[in-house]
Amino acid sequence: MTPSDEIFDIFDERMNPAGQASRSEVHARGLWHQTFHCWIAVPADGDTEAVLLFQERHPGKDTFPSLLDTSCAGHLLAGEAVEDGVRELEEELGLSVPFEALVPCGLFAEEDVISEACIDREFCHVFLHVNRQPLTQYRLQPEEVTGLYRVPLEQVRKMAQGTLSEPIRIAGIASDEDGVPVPVERIVGPADFVPHPGAYYELVLKAIDRIGKSAL
């Protein structure tokens, strides 16, 4: 089965069930469907400030190719519960994390009109996971993720407020020609990130504030 043949549960704008449809039909018709998002927060350590990890989407993705996005995200297939979304952490990043260990951020309805032929309407179930492991220990899924980058919380707050206007330098890992993750640095600006609304980032930042400085 190719990704375009995957079957999703679909909903109306109030999240009432409305049947099922293939991924290709969901995006072509702009049907509401469910996704699982998990942000990985890395606590401050000495002179290193707390960061969120952003994945670089594979250039072959049908939505927002090559842009920086949620640490880990994926669609929930037909019949799957939100708890089943933790498989994305294992598949995309090589992390085995029980659902109970995640911090819930909330549900966010997001609508992106990418083109006349692709409208993405998602009910995003958003979570947070605190993890201190080095980037080199992550195992990136070659067909989904081409890089993983550390973005300081201060810069994420600017994105939430719409005030990130100057380029910033970020460090991370990216897959080389042989698919081996190697350390890299990049200069990026707002156009390099998936254009999530500020309210989406606020959802994550409020969860970080709730768990407090003891965790970050």
Integer distance in angstroms from the first to the last C-alpha of the chain? 41
**180 or 28, which is more confident:** 28
Residue 215 scores a pLDDT above 70: no
Per-residue pLDDT of 175-213, as tens digits, reads 888 878 899 999 999 999 999 999 999 999 999 999 875
Domains contained in the chain, CATH given: 3-211 (3.90.79.10)
Model pTM score = 0.94
Sort strands 118-130 and 32-42 into parallel, antiparallel or unpaired.
parallel
Per-residue pLDDT of 41-85, as tens digits, reads 999 887 788 999 999 999 988 889 999 999 999 999 999 999 999
